[in-house]
Amino acid sequence: MSRSADAMIAGVGQTRIERHSDRPDEEWLAEAIRLALDDAGLRRSQVDGLAVGTISIPDDTGHIAEHLGFELSWAMKADFGGASTLIGLARARDAIRCERADVVVVAAGGNRLDSPSLAHDRRTPPLDYSLRNYAAPFGYAEPNGFFALLQQRHMHEHGTTLDQLGKIATTFRSNAMLNEDALLQEPMSLEDYLGSRLIADPIRRADCVMRCAGGAAIVLVSERVAVELERKPVHLGAYGERIAHQTLGPQQDRLEMGFAAFAAELFARTPRDAMDFAQLYDDYPIAVIMMLESLGFAERGGGGRFIEDTDISLGGELPLNTGGGQLSIGQPSLAGGALHLVEAVRQLRGEAGLRQLPDPEVGLVTGIGMLSVMGNVTAAAGLIVGKEAFA
Amino acid sequence: MSGTGYGRPVPLRWDQPFWDAAGESRLVGQRCRDCDRVQLYPKPACARCGASAFEWIELSGSGTVWSHAYVRQAVDEAMRDQVPFMLLDVELDEGPHLLSRLLGDAHDLAIGERVMVRFVEIAGSDRPLPFFARV
pLDDT at A114: 64
To the nearest whole percent, how much of chain A has pLDDT over 70?
95
Contacts of A159 in chain B (CB under 8 A): none
Q: Which is higher by pLDDT, A233 or A126?
A: A233
**A62: confidence class by pLDDT, cuts 50, 70, 90:** very high
Contacts of B79 in chain A (CB under 8 A): 139, 141
CA closest to B38 among chain A residues: A250
Say yes or no to pLDDT of A5 above 90: no
- Of B1, B72, B87, nearest to A149 by CB-CB distance is B87
pLDDT at B6: 67
B123 touching chain A per CB within 8 A: no
Mean pLDDT of A182-204: 97
A97 touching chain B per CB within 8 A: no
Identity at A213, one-letter amino acid code: A
pLDDT at A147: 96
Say yes or no to pLDDT of A37 above 90: yes
pLDDT at A140: 84
B8 touching chain A per CB within 8 A: yes
User: Which of B36, B38, B46, B71 is the best residue to mutate to test the A interface, defined by the most A CB atoms within 10 Å of its own CB?
Assistant: B71
pLDDT at B50: 93
Say yes or no to pLDDT of A35 above 90: yes
**A269: confidence class by pLDDT, cuts 50, 70, 90:** very high
**pTM of the complete model:** 0.96
Contact B6 A133 (CB under 8 A): no
What's the residue count for chain A? 391
CATH architecture assignment, domain B60-135:
Beta Barrel (2.40)
**A113: confidence class by pLDDT, cuts 50, 70, 90:** low
pLDDT at A115: 61
Q: Which is higher by pLDDT, A330 or B74?
A: A330
Is B30 within 8 Å of B95 (Cβ atoms)? no
pLDDT at A111: 87
B13 touching chain A per CB within 8 A: no
Mean pLDDT of A361-385: 95
Tell me the nearest-neighbour CA distance from B50 into chain A, angstroms.
11
Domains, chain A: 8-113+212-233 (3.40.47.10), 138-210+235-386 (3.40.47.10)
In angstroms, the first-to-last Cα distance of chain A is 22
pLDDT at B104: 85
Contact B87 A138 (CB under 8 A): yes
Mean pLDDT of A293-298: 98
B87 touching chain A per CB within 8 A: yes
pLDDT at B94: 93
Going through A267-328 in order, the beta strands assigned E by DSSP cover 277-279
Contact B82 A139 (CB under 8 A): yes
- Identify the three-state secondary structure at position A326: helix
- Of A127, A129, A200, nearest to B6 by CB-CB distance is A127
Question: Rounded to an integer, what distance in angstroms lies between the CA atom of residue A312 and that of residue A303?
Answer: 13
Is A324 within 8 Å of A182 (Cβ atoms)? yes
- Identify the three-state secondary structure at position A174: helix
Q: How many helices (H) and strands (E) does chain A have?
A: 13, 11
Say yes or no to pLDDT of A126 above 60: no
User: Which of A115, A131, A138 is the best residue to mutate to test the B interface, defined by the most B CB atoms within 10 Å of its own CB?
Assistant: A138
Contacts of A142 in chain B (CB under 8 A): 74-76
Question: Rounded to an integer, what distance in angstroms lies between the CA atom of residue A263 and that of residue A381?
Answer: 10
**Residue pLDDT tens, chain B, 135 long:** 334 556 789 999 999 999 999 999 999 999 999 999 999 999 999 998 999 999 999 999 999 999 999 999 987 777 888 899 999 999 999 999 999 999 987 789 999 999 999 999 988 888 999 999 999
**A248: confidence class by pLDDT, cuts 50, 70, 90:** confident
A159 touching chain B per CB within 8 A: no
Interface of A with B in 244-283 (CB under 8 A): 247-252, 254
* Cα atoms in the Cβ-side hemisphere of radius 13 Å centred on A181: 29
Tell me the torsion sign for CA atoms B74, B78, B81, B87: negative
**A128: confidence class by pLDDT, cuts 50, 70, 90:** confident
Q: Which is higher by pLDDT, A113 or A176?
A: A176
Q: What are the φ/ψ torsions at residue B4 (nearest 5 degrees)?
A: -65, -25
A40 touching chain B per CB within 8 A: no
Of A24-38, A112-126, A269-283, A300-314, the least confident:
A112-126
Of A202-216, A291-305, A334-348, B93-107, the least confident:
B93-107
**A116: confidence class by pLDDT, cuts 50, 70, 90:** low
The interaxial angle of helices A285-295 and A162-176, nearest 10 deg, is 100
B69 touching chain A per CB within 8 A: yes
Say yes or no to pLDDT of A361 above 80: yes
A137 touching chain B per CB within 8 A: yes
pLDDT at B75: 75
**A142: confidence class by pLDDT, cuts 50, 70, 90:** confident
Domain ranges, ordered by start, for chain B: 12-59, 60-135
Mean pLDDT of A123-134: 77
Q: How many helices (H) and strands (E) does chain B have?
A: 1, 8
Mean pLDDT of chain B: 91
Mean pLDDT of chain A: 94
Say yes or no to pLDDT of A102 above 90: yes
pLDDT at A250: 66
- Of A134, A203, A249, nearest to B99 by CB-CB distance is A134
pLDDT at A1: 41
B75 touching chain A per CB within 8 A: yes
Residues 6+ apart with CB under 8 A from A108: A29, A32, A52, A53, A54, A78, A84, A85, A88, A215, A216, A217, A333, A334, A335, A337, A338
pLDDT at A215: 97
Number of Cβ within a 10 Å radius of residue A365: 26
pLDDT at B81: 85
For residue B69, which of A76, A251, A198, A312 has the smallest C-alpha distance? A198
Chain A and chain B share a number of CB contacts under 8 A equal to 121
pLDDT at B1: 32
- 3-state helix/strand/coil string of B91-127: EECCCCEEEEEECCCCCCCCCCCEEEEEEECCCCCCC
A186 touching chain B per CB within 8 A: no
Number of Cβ within a 10 Å radius of residue A106: 33
Contacts of B129 in chain A (CB under 8 A): 137-138
Characterize A174-204 residue by residue with b for buried, 16 or more Cβ atoms within 10 angstroms of its Cβ, and e for exposed.
Answer: ebbbbbebbbbeeebeeeebeebebbbbbbb
